[in-house]
Structure 1
Amino acid sequence: MTDSPEPHVRQLDTRSLRGLAHPLRMRLLDALRFGGPATASQLAAKLGESSGATSYHLRQLAEYGFVEDAPERGKGRERWWRAAQRGLRFDDSLLTDPDPAVRGAADLYLHEVATTQTRDLATWLGNRDTRPGEWSRVWDMSSWTLRLTPALTQELLEKMHALVESYRDRAADEDTPGAEQVRFHTHAFPIRTD
């Protein structure tokens, strides 16, 4: 169920955005995408929410096609969920949609993504000394400022994304000693200097 040229990456549209643009739903989806299949109770404990709230929002995410059952994990009445796609692609036209509800959902979605990325970085900075020696030295928080046109900026972004994606085939198995999930964030936006 993807409109994106990349397999397993879902293009957000007006309908799906409305189903996702909720802080808890976005956190639930991230927990499943990055942590693997889980039950509503497990997700509630992980996120500090009630299992009733996580159950409700998981059903909403399922209705919009973001999560699905993971029946191979379930036992009896226990319902396991997994992310239906590996990633999401945001369409900038959602920010200028004629419907103010869509524009509001798009704005909320983007602010939640930014909040999550900030929280990820802050968590790393606060906990980096708990990682083994190698990992405490292999991280980055760089910033570059270049004078570019929109076309050059788009070209650079595409090259950066392609480079990161090229490492997906080289990714270590879960059983590889010392391997961890590594999060990469990219931010590119014009700034005013006056």
Structure 2
Amino acid sequence: MQSKSFSTRTLDANALKSFAHPLRLRIYELLDEHGPSTATKLAALVGQNTGATSYHLRELAKHGMIEVAPEMGRGKEKYWRIVLGGFTYGDTPPDAEAASALEFLLDDLVRQRGAELARWRDASAGAPEEWVRASGFGRRSLRLTAEETGEMRDAVFELLERYRALSDRREREAAAGSPDAATGHVVVHFDVLPLGAAGGAGEDGEET
């Protein structure tokens, strides 16, 4: 069953190859977490010189991952921000190099999710009570058909898309000078893993 795309764009082979770079992934991660920034500020965070950081920023921009925030900065100072709408890695890459890049990106996605979960586990003890109440950890082990699994995946992504659109609207309002101080950077992890399918043996339908 082919996945629906709930993002505004799908990365093509060239974008996959360009994005599969440790420093570019880290720069994108920092812009996503902290908001618009300059090459100079990012260079200090990633331990690189400004020239190198500027080059990687331009590469990300060339493939539509980030863009200049024209309303920010003075003179030659240039702020960069992620492009709203999200992206997807798409289906099977057309060549071996792109397939290798996709494997690298998926491995980094696993790393990032583990790091974010561990970070919240450490930070939650000192977080404001309303944010702790709003957070949650969840896992379900289900017995479903492939069709039901795809339907569930799409239903969850449709809900996430609704809130992504709300978030994007607020990002645009903040860029126009009307930030909402009550909002925070919220990360949602959602995976559908048919673990039994590869080996031909399913798991017990236990809910945890």
TM-score by length of 2: 0.78
2: CA distance, partners of 1:71 / 1:176: 20
Q: Distance in 2 between matches of 1:72 and 1:177?
A: 19
Deviation per CA, 1:149-176: give whole Å up to 9, x if none. Answer: 2221111011001112223465595755
2:184 paired with 1:180: yes
1:26 equivalent to 2:25? Answer yes
Question: Aligned letter for 1:71?
Answer: P
| Identity rate, percent | 35
Which residue identity lines up with residue 109 of structure 2 in the other structure? Answer: V
> Does the 8 Å contact 2:92/2:99 carry over to 1?
no
Give the drift of 1:32: 2.3
1:156 counterpart (138, 152, 157): 152
Cα–Cα, structure 1 residues 84 and 176, in superposed 2: closer, same or farther, change >3 Å?
Answer: closer
Partner of 2:103: 107
Q: Which residue, 175, 181, 193 being the options, matches 1:189?
A: 193
**Structure 1 residues 129 and 46: alpha-carbon distance in aligned structure 2, compared to 1, 3 A threshold:** farther
Hey, what's the Cα distance between the residues in 2 that align with 1:27 and 1:70? 19
Specify whether residues 5 and 109 from structure 1 end up closer, same or farther in structure 2 by C-alpha distance, changes over 3 A only.
Answer: closer
* Aligned 8 A contact 1:33 1:86 in 2: no
Deviation at 1:187, TM superposition (A): 1.1
Task: State the match for 1:141 in structure 2.
Answer: 137
Task: Report 1 or 2 for greater relative contact order, CA contacts < 8 Å, sequence distance ≥ 6.
Answer: 2
2:199 matched residue in structure 1: none
State the Cα deviation string for residues 68-113 of structure 1 (Å, max 9, x = none).
Answer: 222221212212112234311121212xx3x211110010111111
1:86, 1:23 → 2: CA distance? Answer: 23
1:88 to 1:147, Cα distance in 2 relative to 1, 3 A = same
Q: How many residues align?
A: 187
Deviation at 1:178, TM superposition (A): 4.1
In 1, the alpha carbon distance for the partners of 2:126 and 2:31 equals 24
Matched AA of 2:67: E
Unaligned 5+ runs, structure 1: none
The 5-angstrom pairing of residues 45-194 of structure 1 reads 45-94=44-93, 97=94, 99-168=95-164, 175-176=179-180, 178-192=182-196, 193=203
Change (3 A) 1:53 1:122: farther
**Taking structure 1 as the reference length, what is the TM-score of the superposition?**
0.83
